[in-house]
Chains A and B, each alone.
Chain A
Amino acid sequence: KQEVTQIPAALSVPEGENLVLNCSFTDSAIYNLQWFRQDPGKGLTSLLLIQSSQREQTSGRLNASLDKSSGRSTLYIAASQPGDSATYLCASYWGKLQFGAGTQVVVTP
């Protein structure tokens, strides 16, 4: 059974610092790994999708890497801004999305 873990559960950084969010999964048999953003009380916004054959994906200030052999994915957010404050969730996909519990990020001005 796939288990997805995100550490730390919460993170606070000053504006301008780079963010590093970690995601680990126990079963390397995945189709893809996805990162989402969730604002309080809201739905999920897809940020990046990395296919199992890929090593990384980039979109603007966001970069996500995938290492299936070690069961890890990392989301990097460069030059953080207060608007980046949210909960970030990773999810592995094998017919369905299996989510971690998320990392709550606060970027202070």
Chain B
Amino acid sequence: ETGVTQSPTHLIKTRGQQVTLRCSSQSGHNTVSWYQQALGQGPQFIFQYYREEENGRGNFPPRFSGLQFPNYSSELNVNALELDDSALYLCASSSGTADQETQYFGPGTRLLVL
């Protein structure tokens, strides 16, 4: 069974640029959630995708957008990068949206915005 993978592992961008982060969900999982974790804080929910549709969104501006593909992998796109976007971005997959489902996290992508 393949776990959740994310790419790239690290990324450096400048303010105003755009970035795309990628996540491959664990085999058999159809739900992907994205989180932003600033240094010293807990992860904050960005949004969730279930069977290629957005299924819930946290308090993030529209410049944070996403996609889920038919193989259930996912992308997180961030436009017009700001310095405060520097963080560890985590994706998590699960086999559904039900309350008993454990979410499995990937290793994260560390984004630095200069």
Binding site for B on A (CB under 8 A): 4, 31-32, 34, 36, 41-46, 49, 51-52, 89, 91, 93, 95-102
Q: What 4 A-B pairs are tightest by C-beta distance, nearest first? A: A31-B99, A99-B42, A44-B105, A43-B105
B104 touches A32 (CB 8 A): no
A4 touches B42 (CB 8 A): yes
Per-residue A-contact encoding for B6-22, CB less than 8 Å = 1, 0 else: 10000000000000000
A46 touches B102 (CB 8 A): yes
The reply on B29 being an interface residue by CB < 8 A is no
A49: which B residues are within 8 A, CB to CB?
A: 100, 102
B48: which A residues are within 8 A, CB to CB?
A: 96
A89: which B residues are within 8 A, CB to CB?
A: 42-43
